[in-house]
Structure 1
Amino acid sequence: METLAGVTRMRLVGGNLALDFVNTRTGPPVGPPDDDVLTGYPELVAWGAYAGALTDPEAETLRRLSNNDPGGAHAAFTRSLRSRDDLDEVFRAVAAGRSPSTAVLARLRDDEADALGHARLDRGNTYGWTWRDDRTLARPLRPVVHAAVQLLTTGALDRIKGCGGCRFLFNDESKNRSRRWCSMDDCGTSEKIRRYVAARRTRSTG
């Protein structure tokens, strides 16, 4: 089980906020996850700040709100896990070249409608949605859902891939779209070591 400190040790390698949210569960490429960074509402808020979905003042506001309304915090956390399951199903299907179910896409549509219902259209270099004035316990989830819909509707779907060494998903931004690992420092290096050991074993027995 992870702690708040464990949240900030996780790797943000998805290339998209929604994929990094899915990647809060770890495990092998196939089969169920074996660990989860998100164990409660405090971890959800900590992850939001770490991943850039929340500013530090927003995170502090949410911590105070959750202390005053533990039941509401639990409900918001439970909803976030349901949404994570939906995003996991959607993007694993896309990575495998399949279409997600209509039911899960309908729930994602509803989550996006709710998110935009609490958003502001603000101007930076271009206009975009922000949640600056949203002081509700569901706040950490809203930019995640919006990032997911943006990726599905404007991204190159063939760039969404699953790591060959773990269950992480990522948006392949390499020029030749040849990325196979969530990170060369972790899964990529492990595969190189495995191949090296296998090659030495083959030479020694040949």
Structure 2
Amino acid sequence: MRLVGGNLALDFVNTRSGPPTGPPDDDVLTGYPELVAWAGYAGVLTDTEAAALRRLSREDPDSARVTCTRALHTRDYLDALFRALAAGRNPGPDVLTRLRDDAADALGHARLDRGSPYVWSWRDDRSLDRPLRPVVHAAVQLITTGGLDRIKGCGGCRFVFQDESKNRSRRWCSMDDCGTAEKMRRYVAARRARR
């Protein structure tokens, strides 16, 4: 799995892959254990926290299924939010209301840790929803700190990303993958045209 979004919330949306338009081809989040595995890979959970959540999910499988369903719904509305912004449109008010409500819940379980500057932390949160809280918070941070024109959709796949290039010209999630594939398509097309 690639983390190319440049923001935790964008990487969460990118847990589905496929073509730029139409339905996704693949989904990383097929159950609660996969949600925990992704959160560990993305740096949201330590190995100890991930093990504790896996153990908790085995003790309460019904709650784990409910949490996984909630995660998929969260991903759906974040996907709608970021795709609208990438297309230069305003997201629907229902999407923003869901984000506001989820962000309020996330901050209700967070604490401020000393740093320079202070940072939000969910380290002592032992609930099954723990992996989602930093994701929702990252989404709010992204849309409230400006640079909405830097949220873009990849031209080669369905990933969304934050364009941090100096001239804001990034068009692909990754030059190693979609960028190279697009350049190869252009090269082959140009060779055919010359023949």
Q: Normalising by the residue count of structure 1, what TM-score does the alignment of the two structures yield?
A: 0.93
Alpha-carbon distance, 1:155 to partner = 3.3
Alpha-carbon distance, 1:26 to partner = 0.5
Letter in 2 for 1:71: D
Q: Structure 1 residue 177 and structure 2 residue 168: aligned?
A: yes
Pick from 98, 103, 113 the counterpart of residue 94 of structure 2. Answer: 103
Aligned length: 195
Gaps of 5+ in 1: 1-9
Q: Structure 1 residue 86 and structure 2 residue 77: aligned?
A: yes
Other-structure match for 2:139: 148
Other-structure match for 1:3: none
Alpha-carbon distance, 1:55 to partner = 1.1
Q: Normalising by the residue count of structure 2, what TM-score does the alignment of the two structures yield?
A: 0.99
Other-structure match for 1:197: 188
Other-structure match for 2:178: 187
1:104-143 correspondence runs (5 A): 104-143=95-134
Letter in 1 for 2:177: D
Other-structure match for 1:28: 19
1:68-87 correspondence runs (5 A): 68-87=59-78
Q: Structure 1 residue 42 and structure 2 residue 52: aligned?
A: no
Q: What is the root-mean-square deviation of aligned Cα atoms in Å?
A: 0.6
Tell me the alpha carbon deviations over residues 149-184 of structure 1, each in whole angstroms, 9 at most, x when there is no partner: 000001300000000000000000000100000000
Gaps of 5+ in 2: none
Greater than 4 Å deviation, 4+ residue runs: none
Question: Quick one: distance in 2 between partners of 1:159 and 1:198?
Answer: 30
Q: Percent of aligned positions with the same letter in both sequences?
A: 78
Which secondary structure does the structure 1 equivalent of 2:189 belong to?
helix
